[in-house]
Structure 1
Amino acid sequence: MSRAALVVIDVQESFRRRPIWAHGSNPAIVGQVDRLVDAARRRGDLVVWVLHAEPGSGTVFDPTSGHVRLIDGLAARPGEPTLVKTSHNAFTTTNLQQILTAAGVRDLTVCGIRTEQCVETTTRVGCDLGYRMTFVIDATVTFPTPHRDLPADASLAEILADPRTLPTGEMIARTEYALANRFATVRTVDEVTGAVPAGAGA
Structure 2
Amino acid sequence: MTPAVPPVHALLVVDVQSAFVHGAEAVPDAARLLDRVGHLISAARASGAFVVHLRNDGPPGATDEPGTPGWRLHLPVEEGPAEVVLGKTEDDGFYETPLNALLTRSGVRSLAVCGVMSEMCVSATARTAMELGYRVVMPHDAHATYDIPPAAGISGAVPAAMVSRTAEWALGDGVQIVAGAADVRFTAPTPRRARPAHGM
TM range (shorter): 0.7 to 0.9
Structure 1 residues 20, 163: closer, same or farther in 2, change over 3 A? farther
* Identical amino acids, percent of aligned pairs: 31
Q: Which residue of 1 aligns with 2:103?
A: 100
State the AA in 2 paired with 1:110: V
Structure 1 residues 25, 16: closer, same or farther in 2, change over 3 A? closer
> Distance in 2 between the 1:149 and 1:54 partners?
29
Q: Which residue of 1 aligns with 2:62?
A: 59
> Distance in 2 between the 1:193 and 1:104 partners?
17
> Distance in 1 between the 2:155 and 2:24 partners?
19
> Distance in 2 between the 1:101 and 1:130 partners?
11
> Distance in 2 between the 1:29 and 1:141 partners?
7
State yes or no: 1:12 paired with 2:20: no
State yes or no: 1:186 paired with 2:191: no
2:105 aligns to what SS in structure 1? helix
Q: Which residue of 2 aligns with 1:167?
A: 159
CA-CA distance at 1:97 after TM superposition: 0.4
Structure number with the higher helix fraction is 1
CA-CA distance at 1:102 after TM superposition: 0.7
State the AA in 2 paired with 1:185: Q
> Distance in 1 between the 2:40 and 2:116 partners?
15
1:77 alignment partner, one of 76, 79, 83: 79
Structure 1 unaligned blocks of 5 or more:
151-161, 195-202
CA-CA distance at 1:17 after TM superposition: 5.9
CA-to-aligned-CA distance 1:94-141 (integer Å, 9 cap, x gap)? 110010011011001110011111111111111011110111110111
Tell me if the contact between 1:20 and 1:143 (Cα under 8 Å) persists in the aligned partners: no
> Distance in 2 between the 1:17 and 1:70 partners?
11
> Distance in 2 between the 1:148 and 1:44 partners?
46
Structure 1 residues 88, 148: closer, same or farther in 2, change over 3 A? farther
> Distance in 2 between the 1:94 and 1:170 partners?
30
Tell me if the contact between 1:7 and 1:48 (Cα under 8 Å) persists in the aligned partners: yes
> Distance in 1 between the 2:152 and 2:86 partners?
34
CA-CA distance at 1:18 after TM superposition: 6.7
> Distance in 1 between the 2:118 and 2:126 partners?
10
Structure 2 unaligned blocks of 5 or more:
1-7, 187-200
Aligned residues: 178
When normalised by structure 1's length, the TM-score is: 0.78
> Distance in 2 between the 1:147 and 1:164 partners?
4
CA-to-aligned-CA distance 1:18-49 (integer Å, 9 cap, x gap)? 7442x514431221111111111121110111
Tell me if the contact between 1:30 and 1:74 (Cα under 8 Å) persists in the aligned partners: no
Structure 1 residues 106, 65: closer, same or farther in 2, change over 3 A? same
Aligned residues: CA RMSD: 2.5
> Distance in 1 between the 2:155 and 2:29 partners?
18
State yes or no: 1:27 paired with 2:18: no
CA-CA distance at 1:183 after TM superposition: 2.9
